[in-house]
Structure 1
Amino acid sequence: MSFFGKFIGGTIGFLMGGPLGAIAGVAFAHVLQQSQDADRISGSSYFRNYNRRMNTTEHSHMTFFVGAFSLLAKLANVDGELTRNEEATIRRFMIEELRLDPTSQYTALRIFDAALSTDQDYGDIARQFYREFRNRPQILELMIDILFRVAIADGGVNKAEGSMILNIARIFNFQQYQYDRIKERYVANTNKYYAILNCRPEDNDETIKKSYRKLVRENHPDAIAAKGLPDEFQKVAADKFRQIQDAYEHIRKERGF
């Protein structure tokens, strides 16, 4: 059962607070009301644990899931208009990249639509996301990575999208060079493989090996999961880990070490 399959009748976003709690409240108000009505009719105890507080892991999972699809909604609408192509890109991301089950797809779309319909500022959403994950830089970098991945899937990163992603990176307390290295992974250039390894072509072999070993330790899917990444996003983490390995192998063969 998916994370949201277990959570939909429980504590959902109302206990999150902040702009993400407000978006979750809009997204699930009708679901919660329908479930409560069913309980009154059937006398079931489905909502018995509604006021149970989320534990730390559950709170992190909820924040990432709601935050990710809220920021993706703001990215898709950053120029003031959500096109069919942009909407199709989000759906493909959910199905092909994340491989969400039907419950999680429905949940993601409710969050996406709620974020579009509310006046919550993407900066406020990003700041709440940062507060949750400020001590987990791999999670913050993965979020920026996801934003770029979805932006280029729509045909390339336009000026408005690039500006928004840069602003979010700054809210995440990234230095300019950190942002540039993530961007270089998706914007065509000859240094893509070095950017993936957080290196430059002029770095020596030992520097590249050291950076590779550090990235492998920090970005192994099991390590990322332990830091608060929901199961639904594990494929993205695994793809990034594969990118690191492929980049290192390309550079290793190129340099002959």
Structure 2
Amino acid sequence: MGNFIKWLGAGLGFTLGGPIGSVLGYAIGNLIEGFTRGDVERARKYRNTSRTNQSGDFEISLLLLSSVVIKADGKTNERELAYVRNHFKKMYGEERANNAFKLFKIFIKNNKVSTRQISNQIRQNLTHASRLQLLHFLFGIAKSDGMVNEAEVNTIKTIAGYLYINQYDFESIKAMFYDSSDSAYRILEIEKSATNNELKKAYRKMVKKYHPDKLQHLGTEHVKGAEEKFKQVQKAYEQIQKERGL
């Protein structure tokens, strides 16, 4: 239990308090017999203000919101669970991912999670760029079984609203997971009627918004994740250029 507590405390900051802290307490209480308030305090002693700390907060936020999306259609899909597990291993390595997944399975079983309260706490403590990255991952989970159904889209849209992610940004990230004739335009947040100059301006704006450097504070594992969004913006721009013969 000691190693688990050290992992928990060293990686978390704001998520050890508030509504998320309560959910964590419930999860850990179910995971570790005899877990007490004193264990939470020991975890706080290991807490720091490094990148690891911020990465840990993002990690728990991701786990909690992922559990909400996975349950959106009323069933737990094994491919979605595998997507979360594999993605965490890729980002954090085997040991850290295993610790995280122990909590994740409890989160899924807990029906008392308040999406609004959790999202509000996340919104108040994570940057806009970090929240956009959360949204991108949630769509990745929804798409991992081959399609994004309406219940999942509505759940992610609700979460986006709580996170103060506007409609344009929501539609931009959503379009990255759909193959349609207007996806490239949606990703760049413009209409098909946009002029070539408006296209260039939109591209520069989206490059700035989705640039991986905006997630440097979370650590290299999340910078790599942000690169996927960045590539989608570049791909969309190149696609429209080709269509227009630019």
Q: TM-score range by the shorter chain?
A: 0.7 to 0.9
Gaps of 5+ in 1: 35-46
Between stretches 170-179 and 124-133, larger displacement belongs to 170-179
Cα deviation for residue 117 of structure 1 reads 3.2
Identical-residue share of aligned pairs (%): 27
Q: Which has the higher contact order (CA 8 A, sep 6+)?
A: 1
Give the corresponding residue for 1:20. 20
| d(CA) in 2 for partners of 1:114, 1:68 | 14
Between stretches 69-78 and 247-256, larger displacement belongs to 247-256
1:248 and 2:240 are equivalent in the alignment: no
Give the corresponding residue for 1:170. 161
Instruction: Flag the 1:150–1:255 CA change in 2: closer, same or farther, 3 A.
Output: same
Cα deviation for residue 219 of structure 1 reads 2.4
More helix per residue: 1 or 2? 2
Q: Is the 8 A contact 2:13 2:49 kept in 1?
A: no
Give the corresponding residue for 2:121. 128
| d(CA) in 2 for partners of 1:81, 1:65 | 23
Give the SS at the match of 1:8: helix
Give the corresponding residue for 1:183. 174
1:204 and 2:203 are equivalent in the alignment: no
**Count of residue pairs brought into register by the alignment:** 236
Cα deviation for residue 162 of structure 1 reads 1.4
Structure 2-normalised TM-score? 0.81
Between stretches 176-185 and 144-153, larger displacement belongs to 176-185
Cα deviation for residue 220 of structure 1 reads 2.3
Partner deviation per Cα, 1:143-201 (whole Å, 9 max, x = no partner):
11111111011121222211111111111223334323322222332111122222221
| d(CA) in 1 for partners of 2:93, 2:178 | 31
1:224 and 2:218 are equivalent in the alignment: no
1:158 and 2:152 are equivalent in the alignment: no
Instruction: Give the letter for the 1:107 counterpart.
Output: N
Instruction: Flag the 1:172–1:132 CA change in 2: closer, same or farther, 3 A.
Output: same
Q: Is the 8 A contact 2:188 2:236 kept in 1?
A: yes
